[in-house]
Structure 1
Amino acid sequence: MSRGQRYGLLGIFGLGVLLSLWWLGVRLFGEADGLSALFSPQATLASLQELLWRAELYQHALVSLKRVLAGLLLALLVGVPLGLLVGSSRLLEAATTPAFQFLRMISPLSWMPIAVMLMGVGDQPIYFLLAFAAVWPIMLNTAAGVRQLDPRWLQLARSLSATRWETLRRVIVPGVLGHVLTGVRLAIGILWIVLVPCEMLGVSAGLGYYILDTRDRLAYSELMAMVVLIGVLGFILDAAARGLYRRWAHGAG
C-alpha cells in the first residue's frame, strides 16, 4: 500500500470518527423522538439526498460561488500590487504596516451594517466584505514572497539592463507566484467562512439565504443538510487550491 493510499484511508477514518461523534452527540443531548432527531446524521443525509434533486439548490450554490470568485478577484487586484509595493520597499513597509495590521484585525462582519447603509442591499456590500476579508492573506504572502527573492536574480536582471517592467514580469512575478497561491488558498478559506453571514444581508439567493429559508420553514433536517453541503463545497474549493499549488510547485521543480 502506497503512502498516498494510507493517508487516504486515515482521512476516511477521521471522517468516520466525526460522523460517529455527531451521531453520539445527538443521542446524548437530545431525545430520540424529539426535535434533536431532525439534526441527526440519518435525517440530515436523507434531506441532503432530496435536496440534490432540486434545481434551486444548484442555483443558490452557483450564486454563492460567483460571489466568492468576484471577491477573490477583487482581493487579487488590490492585494497583489500592494504586496509587491510593500515587499519591495522597507520605508513603505514601515509606513503602512501599523495601518494594515489595524485594519486586518477588524472582523469583516463588523463592516456589515456600514456596508449596507452605504451600498444598499444586494451584491455590492457582499463583494466589498468578501474582498476586505480576502485581501490580507494575499497581500501579506505576496510581500513575504518579494522579501524572500534571491538577490542574485535581481542583480542579474540589472546586469542585463532589464527595465523595471521586464524585471517585474520575468523575475519578481514568477518568483512570488508560489506565495500568491498560498495567499489565495488562505483567502478562499476565509471567504467561504465569511460568505454565509454576508448572504444573510437581505439578498434573495445564495447558500446563506437558503439556510435562513430552511430555518423559517422549520425544515431543520434541511438546515443541517445545507450545513453539510457548505462544508463539502468548501472542502472542494480548498482541494482545488491545493491542487493548483502542487501543480505549480511540480512545474517549478
Structure 2
Amino acid sequence: MLSTRRHWALGLAGLIILLGLWWLGVRLFGGDGLGQLFSPQATFTSLGELLARPELYEHVLVSLKRVLLGLLLALAVGVPLGLLVGASRHLEAATTPAFQFLRMISPLSWMPIAVMLMGVGDSPIYFLLAFAAVWPILLNTAAGVRQLDPRWLQLSRSLSATPFETLRKVILPGVLGHVLTGVRLAIGILWIVLVPCEMLGVSAGLGYYILDTRDRLAYSELMAMVLLIGVLGFALDALARSLYRRRS
C-alpha cells in the first residue's frame, strides 16, 4: 500500500502533468491571438482578480445552495423508495424496468419541459438536479437493503422489535454505507448538471456567471470560472469521501 506522503506526491505530479498539457495545448493550437486568453498564465491572473470580487462568492453560495437542496430532495425521495424496493422482490421486479428507463434519460433533456411547466427560476433547476441525483441514491439504498444480514432481522423479530425500531436500529445503520456511496455519486452528477441548468434564465450562480463572461468577451475569466468549478467539485467529492471514511 502506498504511504500517505507518496500518495500525495503522485497526485501532485499528475496535476503538474495536466497543467503542462494545458500549457502545451494552448501553445500548439491557440496561436498568438485569442487562444492565449485561455492559457494558464492568463487564467490564473484572472482567477486571482475574480477571487478579490465579493460578487463571485455570492454566485458560489447560490450554486452550493442549489446543489444542497437538490441533494436533499433526492435523498427524501430516493432513500424511502430504495428501502421499499430493496425489501420487496415483487416491487423490485415491478419498478426496475421503469426506473432503468427513466435513469437513462439525460436530465438536461427535460430542461425545455421543466421551464414550460414551472417557469423560469429556481424551481426547474431543483427539479432537474433532484431528478439527476435520485437514481444513484435509490439504487444504492436498495442494494444495501438486499445485502443486509438476515440474521440481524431475525434477531430483531425474536426480540419483538416493532417495525419502526427495526428500521431505526437495524436497517438504516446497515444501509448507511450504501446511502453514502450513492450520495457521493449523486454529488458528482449534480455538479455536472448544475452549470447548464443555471443557464435557464436565472440571474445568479456559476452557470450564469460563465454566460456573463462569454457575453462580455472576458475569455480569460471564462477559463478561470471553468477552473474554479473544477476545484469546487473536487472539494465536494473530497468531502463526500471523508464522510464515507468517517462512517467506516
- Structure 1's consecutive aligned runs of 4 or more residues displaced over 3 angstroms after TM superposition are none
Kindly state the Cα deviation for residue 191 of structure 1 after the two structures are TM-superposed. 0.1
Give how far 1:61 is off.
0.2
Instruction: Determine the C-alpha separation between the residues in 2 that align with 1:80 and 1:67.
Output: 20
Unpaired runs of 5+ in structure 2? none
Residue 158 of structure 1 aligns to a residue whose secondary structure is helix
CA distance in structure 2 between the aligned counterparts of 1:17 and 1:3, rounded to whole angstroms: 21
Within 5 A, what are the aligned runs for 1:8-47? 8-31=8-31, 33-47=32-46
CA distance in 1, matches of 2:30, 2:120: 38
What code does the residue aligned with 2:14 have? Answer: G
Read off the aligned partner of 1:214 and give its amino acid letter.
T
**Letter of the structure 2 residue corresponding to residue 22 of structure 1:** W
Matches within 5 A, 1:161-172: 161-172=160-171
Partner of 2:80: 81
Deviations 1:159-206 (A, max 9, x none): 001111110000000000000000000000000000000000000000
Tell me the equivalent position of 2:54. Answer: 55
Counterpart of 1:241?
Answer: 240
Query: What corresponds to 1:196 in structure 2?
Result: 195
RMSD: 0.6
Match in the other structure for 2:6? 6
Whole-Å Cα distance in 2 between the matches of residues 121 and 9 of structure 1?
A: 46
Deviations along 1:146-169, one digit per CA (max 9) or x if unpaired, are: 000000000000100111111000
Measure the CA separation in 1 of the matches of 2:30 and 2:182.
41
Hey, what's the Cα distance between the residues in 1 that align with 2:128 and 2:134?
10
Number of matched pairs: 247
**One-letter code of the match for 1:206?**
G
1:12-49 Cα offsets, whole Å, 9 max, x none, are 00000000000000011121x31000000000000000
The code of the aligned residue for 1:92 comes to: L
Name the counterpart of 1:107: 106
Q: What fraction of aligned residue pairs are identical, expressed as a percent?
A: 84
Match of 1:159 in 2: 158
**Equivalent-residue separation in structure 2 for 1:161 and 1:87 (angstroms):** 22
Structure 1 unmatched runs, 5+:
none
* 1:49-95 residue CA offsets vs partner (Å, 9 max, x unmatched): 00000000000000000000000000000000000000000000000
- 3-state DSSP of counterpart to 2:164: helix
Partner SS for 2:241: helix
> Cα offset for 1:232?
0.2
Q: Secondary structure at the match of 1:202?
A: coil
CA distance in 1, matches of 2:95, 2:163: 23
Q: Give secondary structure in 2 for the equivalent of 1:22.
A: helix
Whole-angstrom CA distance in 2 between matches of 1:198 and 1:5: 39
Query: For the residues of structure 2 that align with 1:63 and 1:200, how far apart are their CA atoms?
Result: 13
Secondary structure at the counterpart of residue 121 of structure 1: coil
The 5 Å alignment of 1:80-229 reads: 80-229=79-228
Query: Which amino acid letter does the alignment assign opposite residue 145 of structure 2?
Result: V
Query: What's the secondary structure of 2:187's corresponding residue?
Result: helix
